[in-house]
Amino acid sequence: MEQLQTTYTLHDAQRPLSIYCDGSAPDNQHGCLQGGVGVAVYDALGHCIQEYSSSVRRAGGVTNQRAELLALIIALLVAGEGDSIFSDSKYCVQGFNEWLDNWKRNAWRNSSKKPVANQDLWMLVDELKAIRPRVSVEHVAGHSGIKGNEHSDRLASQAAAGKM
C-alpha cells in the first residue's frame, strides 16, 4: 500500500504561533566581527516547528542591537496575523511598541534630536509592521529558562561562533 506523503508547513501549524528571536554579538564592546541571529517558531501546542539561524557580518563590526533587530526582522517575515513574537531585547520591544511612530513623526530623529541608530533596519521593521498589524512583539526575560527564548539564544550564539 502506498503511503501519502505530506509536507508540513507553517500554514498547517496550530495557530497562533509563538516566535522567539535573539541576536548575538560576542565581545560587542570591542568590535564584533561576526554576530548571529536565531529564531525558533513554536505552534499553539508548544512544539518547535521551525528554526532559523544565520551568521551576520558587517564592515565596521556587528553590534548586539543590529543582531537583535535582524532577528526581529526574520521573526516578522515568518509571522502571520495573530502570532506573537518574543524577544529579550528591550531595545527591540520598546522600539517596536513605543518609539517607532515617534521616530517617523520626527523625521527619524530620537528624543535627543539625533538620528535614530540603525535607522536602515528600523525602517524595514516599520514596513513589516504595517503589513502585519495584528502581530504582537513582547518582552521575555533572557536566560530565565523560557524554552523558546533559550532555544533562539542557542541558535544565535552558535551562528555567531560559526557553528551552524
In this prediction, residue 8 carries a pLDDT of 44
pLDDT tens readout for residues 41-87: 999 999 999 999 999 987 677 899 999 999 999 999 999 999 999 99
Domains along the chain? 14-94+134-160 (3.30.420.10)
Nearest Cα to Cα of residue 82 among 38, 127, 44? 44
In this prediction, residue 70 carries a pLDDT of 96
Give the SS3 label for residue 62: strand
Cα torsion 115, 36, 45, 49 to 10°: value is 120
Split at pLDDT 50, 70, 90, the class of 9 is low
Cα torsion 93, 111, 24, 144 to 10°: value is -40
Find out whether 64 and 24 touch, Cβ atoms under 8 Å. yes
Helix (H) or strand (E) holding 92: helix 90-94
Split at pLDDT 50, 70, 90, the class of 11 is low
pTM: 0.89
In this prediction, residue 30 carries a pLDDT of 61
Report how far residue 146's alpha carbon sits from residue 43's, in angstroms, rounded to the nearest whole number: 15
pLDDT tens readout for residues 98-154: 999 999 999 999 999 999 999 999 999 999 999 998 999 999 998 888 999 999 999
